[in-house]
Structures are given as C-alpha cells and as structure tokens.
Structure 1
Amino acid sequence: MYLILVFALALLGCGRSANVNKHMRLLDLDNHIENHAPPTKQTGARRFLTITQRPLATYALSSGDVLELTCDAVGAPAPSIHWFRNDAPVYEPRIVVTYEMYVDTIGNNIVLPCRVKGHPKPHVSWIDNKGNVVKKDERMKVLRSGELVISSLRWSDMGEFSCQATNVFGSQLAKTFVYPAKAG
C-alpha cells in the first residue's frame, strides 16, 4: 500500500492523498486554503483569493487509469498555483546535460551524458541509432546516472542516439549524433 500526498498551492492549498493497491486507487482530497503570502501594508486596494475550480474530494480509479486534477484561482494580487507531492514540488522531466554531437575515434569507449531533473525522479532510457531501446549487452549499457556507455566505438554506431526522461508528469527527448572517426 502506498500513500501519495499532493498539494497545490496558490497562496492556497488544493491537495490530494491516495491509498494505492494493485487493483484500485482511492483518492481523498483535503481541499484546504492556506495563505502563504507575506504580510503587506494595506493601500486601500482590497486583497482577495477565490478558488474558482478545485479537485473533487474523492476519486475512485482502476489501476492504470489517468487522473487529471485542476485547481484554478483568482485573486488580488494574482495567485500562482504550485503542485507538491510529499512536500516536494512536482514537475515534468527536464534534460539538463546532453550533447548534440559526439565525435570520437573508432575503438574508443564513449560516455554520452543525459542528466535529468524532475520530481518524481524521471526514468531515463536510450534509443540507439537503429531505433531500438538500449538494453544492457556486451557493448552498450545505461548507467544509473542516465549516461549511455558504448564500448569499443564502431563505424556502424554512427547516427542519432536519443535519451528519453519520463515521469508521471511527462517526458522529454534529447538527441545526440555520434560520429565515429578514423584514427590518425
């Protein structure tokens, strides 16, 4: 059983928590408002915050179902909405370090970086120059860091290798063209 806690804050809090099992997920939202704005001097303008659309209190889902939650708010000053899970901000994956092109000598071992950020932590996979998902073999492997190691670079390795970072909020793809050069 898993406990998932998600909060949306718009100088407010729209949230959800979920008990998860193999066959069904039941989501129970606490939909509370929290004002996190720093105190300011009143200048005669009226400050207000209204949640115009909030998630329902409970959702029942089958395993594998997709749930999209919406939280809209209006106010003065204009609120911003941020989603949190287990007190950490949630966001789609971003690839922050990669190469567009990599040139190295045939026979060398190479390492192609794919450093990612995202919460929850994104899963990184690589697609080789023939369009196949890279699985660990005697020449290629994906490290826990997301880097792709190619041992003993060959002429047949020339082409585009794609790094894909994925989590429940989305995915991002970055491509690296590998060019094996002849020695000398």
Structure 2
Amino acid sequence: MRKTNFKVDIIPILFLTVVVCVSVIALAYVNSITYEKIETAKLDAFKEKLSVHFADMTDFTSNDANDCYIVFTNDDIAGYAVKATGSGYGGTIELLVALEPTNIISTDDLIIRGLSVISHSETPGLGDKITKSSFQNQFMGVAFSGIELSKTGGAIDAISGATISSKGVINGIVSSIEARFDSLVELVSSVEVS
C-alpha cells in the first residue's frame, strides 16, 4: 500500500477547495449586488408590456404565485392580465394576455383586450411572427370561447408555415387561463371587497 504524499495528494485537494469556496462567495456577493437591479428591470419591462394594453394604467396588483394581475386607472379597475405559457416549435412561449374588465363569473365572460409575447425561441422568419401585430391583433375583442384557429371554427388565423407556433400561443392562452381562472376570480373579489 502506498503512503499518502502530502504534496502530491492533499495540497491539490486543499487548493481546489479554496478556489471553489472563493468562487461561491464571489458569486453570492455579485448576486446580492445585482439581484435588486435585475428584479427592478424585470418589473419595469413587465409594466411596459402592461402599458401597451392599458395606456392609462396608474397601478396594478397581483397574486404573484399565480401570475394574475388587476390593472388600475386611478382607483378604477381598467382590466385584468394573466401570464400564459405555451409550447411552440422552438420551445416555451411566454405571453401576457390582457383582458377587458368584465364581470367574471366563468371563462365565457372573458374578452381578450390584447396579447404580448414576453419571450420565445421560435424560428426566425417563421414562428417568430407571433410577435408581429398582424398576428397579435387578431386576439383583440375575441371572447375566450373563440380562441382557436379559424380552420376549426375559431377567430384566429394561423401563421402560414408556423402552425405549431400559432397553436402554441392559442393552447398556452386557453390552458393558462383555465388553470388560473379561480385565482383571477379570487384576486378580483379581494380587490372589490377592500
């Protein structure tokens, strides 16, 4: 059995341990410095997306855990918004769905006010056309029940050559709103009671 040589066996391990510890501490420090700035930048970008659909927006409230929002103009409810995610050809599509301020009893009462793509990784020149106003404007004024492709009786025309991306947006809106509907109703009720 070989004897342990301190210089050959132990010093490299100690050196790597010190390097790893210093790196972890440095990363934690940088994260603590930049975290607030990153979160502020994300919030500003989100407010900008909301203001596209609610030009007179003065404030908004949310239940962050469920990505549901109520938008206010002064003290009046201007509308609602829900973050949605769908699966496109290139991966996940993150959306912001703006809704008219209707009396919400069921999903049938929801009317789309507007749509914004927060992020995507769709094919440039094809699937990325989901970011174009010509596609997004089709959703304006559409009742929740009409959010499906026109070839299946809905109000939305698919992007030529990017049907998977188009379906990803539609399925993302429908599934996300259905999954978050109770949370949206609860949020609206809590604001109306306050």
Instruction: Give the alignment's TM-score, normalised by structure 2.
Output: 0.25
Q: TM-score, normalised by structure 1?
A: 0.26
Considering fraction of residues, name the structure with more helix.
2
Task: Looking at secondary structure, tell me which structure has more strand per residue.
Answer: 1
